[in-house]
Amino acid sequence: MSEVLGLVVLLPLTGALLCGLVPSRHGVRIALPTAVVTAGLVGALVVRVFETGAVRTASAGYAPPLGIGLVVDGLSAAFLAMTAVVGVALTVYASGSAAARGGGMYWALWLGLWSALNAVYVSGDLFNTYVALELMGLAAVGLVALAGRGALAAALRYLLVAVLGSLVYLLGVALLYGEVGTLDFAQVGASVERSATTTAALALMLVGMALKSALFPLHGWLPAAHGGAPAAVSPALSALVVKASVYLAVRLWTTVLPDVGTAAAAQLLGVLGAAAVLWGTVAALRQDRLKLVVAYSTVAQVGYLFLVFPLALADGTPVDAARDGWAGALGLGLTHGLAKAAMFMAAGTLTLSHGSDRLAGMAGAATRRPVACATFAVAGVSLAGLPPSGGFVAKWLLLQSSLATGQWWWAAVVLVGGLLTAAYVGRVLRVVFLDVPKDEQQALAPVPARMEAAALVLALLAVAVGLRAVEAVRLLTLGSPFGVAS
């Protein structure tokens, strides 16, 4: 099973190289089987982690620090699984329309992005992670640029942010290497102590990840990049790319530098996350373009994930409360990945059909695109945290953790954020379900049924996660510092 760790990175990378060599019209014939086999390998890894715990190996048989360590525990397995599910659905979605893909290099860039994401999740080495981050950023920027000349400015801004975030992260890595002489996660974590150097290293790396995940107030690049990207690109950026940066921030705090982060730093990250929740939801309410509504929603939803720091990772937090905070925040990341991918796919379908993403032009769209509108509604249920969705379970755990630790203000943020999320989702649903078109309705462009079906499946899965929350929480806590949830 240890060989699978390398294959989940190499298989999509090989597929990306092959797609780059063949004519673009044949790319789907490589991408679809690559996606299915990659997802199957990830599924086998998840089963093994459930049965035996973390899976570890080293490249070429050389143990770290000579070899590059690869490891998958419950936390990384959960994010690998979410990426695989979204990846298969997005590949099916993208196969339905050349306009949704935006350009002939889509398949090579998409599979390259998937490979880089998997590399982030299985890497046990700081420099190897840097390489994966760079590949992820370059692939994501290339995908945004496929939207054409109008997206070049957003793509360039995204490129600058991606490079800057990686550079700041690399400076932190250099400081750590000078301090401990190794880059392996486990070896650094076992030998490092809190000092001015290690504190500076953690701060630099967290700032790099905050940039890449668009944590408020470093979010300015995200709405233009995600909102302006092709229909089959926005779901990957919003559901997957920002999650990898948040995942790595948590991994750095807990595994690489477990005794370096302070309670004050955890509270600061929580405050920034809370500001993101409130600002992002208010901004989403004010947009008149559907894709920008969903893009600003991503700014808000990322904020919830950073509540893991004050609720689960601050010194002195009771174990049970910390476990709830961990499972709630990171579980919300998983359900957000499913729901936000579905929501962006639905928005993309409506945009392709109407020729524009202006909400005013989508009045009464539910009568002609009922599946896409229903998908948006079901995904919105999870984002707003309504039962029985996975978003509800995750937010319930966050509320429990907030009250158990005496930090009621985080509970207020979760509740207010949920109400504001329901408000902007409801605003869109009112337009597409209840508003009457003012002018004679134009003919809609055709959209293949598989595009709508792929989005609907993801939305339903975001709700279904809430019905199987016990398994999801157990998997997440297999990678936590506090033990496995009972």
pLDDT digits (tens, 9 = 90+) for 312-363: 887 777 888 888 888 888 889 999 999 999 999 999 999 988 888 888 888 8
pLDDT tier for residue 429 given thresholds of 50, 70 and 90: very high
pLDDT, position 300: 92
Average pLDDT estimate for 86-92: 95
User: If you search the block for the tokens 């339905």, which residue do you land on?
Assistant: 96
pLDDT, position 482: 67
pLDDT, position 256: 87
Contact of 352 with 379, CB cutoff 8 Å = no
pLDDT, position 82: 95
Q: Which two tokens stand for residue 244?
A: 């990898």
What separation in angstroms does the CA of 350 have from each of 127, 190, 379, 382? Answer: 42, 51, 15, 20
pLDDT tier for residue 120 given thresholds of 50, 70 and 90: very high
The values of phi and psi at residue 289, to 5°, are: -115, 130
Contact of 315 with 263, CB cutoff 8 Å = yes
The values of phi and psi at residue 123, to 5°, are: -70, 140
Average pLDDT estimate for 33-58: 88
pLDDT tier for residue 485 given thresholds of 50, 70 and 90: low
pLDDT, position 321: 83
pLDDT, position 147: 82
What separation in angstroms does the CA of 111 have from each of 30, 332, 361, 429? Answer: 10, 25, 34, 33
In a 10 Å sphere around its CB, with 0-12 CB exposed, 13-18 middle and 19+ buried, how is residue 193 labelled? exposed
217 cis-preceded (ω within 30 degrees of 0): yes
Is 72 strand, coil or helix? strand
Please state, as a whole number, how many other Cβ atoms lie within 10 Å of the Cβ of residue 204. 20
Average pLDDT estimate for 12-39: 90
pLDDT tier for residue 131 given thresholds of 50, 70 and 90: very high
pLDDT tier for residue 462 given thresholds of 50, 70 and 90: very high
Average pLDDT in the chain: 88
Question: Left (φ > 0), alpha (ψ -120 to 50) or beta: where does 280 sit?
Answer: alpha
Contact of 418 with 380, CB cutoff 8 Å = no
Query: How many whole angstroms from its chain centre is CA 441?
Result: 36
Average pLDDT estimate for 115-129: 92
Q: Which two tokens stand for residue 17?
A: 């190289």
Contact of 132 with 113, CB cutoff 8 Å = no
Average pLDDT estimate for 263-276: 92
DSSP state of 229: S
The answer, yes or no, to whether residue 60 has pLDDT greater than 80, is no
User: If you search the block for the tokens 């945009």, which residue do you land on?
Assistant: 351
The ranges assigned to domains in the chain are: 1-261, 262-486
Is 66 strand, coil or helix? coil
Between CA 121 and CA 251 the distance in angstroms is 10
Weakest-pLDDT range from 118-132, 171-185, 197-211, 434-448 = 434-448
For the segment 160-193, what is each residue's pLDDT rounded down to a tens digit? Answer: 988 999 999 999 999 998 888 888 888 888 888 8
pLDDT, position 1: 59
Weakest-pLDDT range from 45-59, 208-222, 346-360 = 45-59
For the segment 470-479, what is each residue's pLDDT rounded down to a tens digit? Answer: 888 888 888 7
The answer, yes or no, to whether residue 148 has pLDDT greater than 80, is no
Counts of helices then strands in the chain (DSSP H, E): 21, 2
pLDDT, position 439: 62
The values of phi and psi at residue 442, to 5°, are: -80, 160
The answer, yes or no, to whether residue 486 has pLDDT greater than 60, is no
Weakest-pLDDT range from 49-63, 212-226, 282-296, 367-381 = 49-63
Please state, as a whole number, how many other Cβ atoms lie within 10 Å of the Cβ of residue 287. 21
Is 125 strand, coil or helix? strand
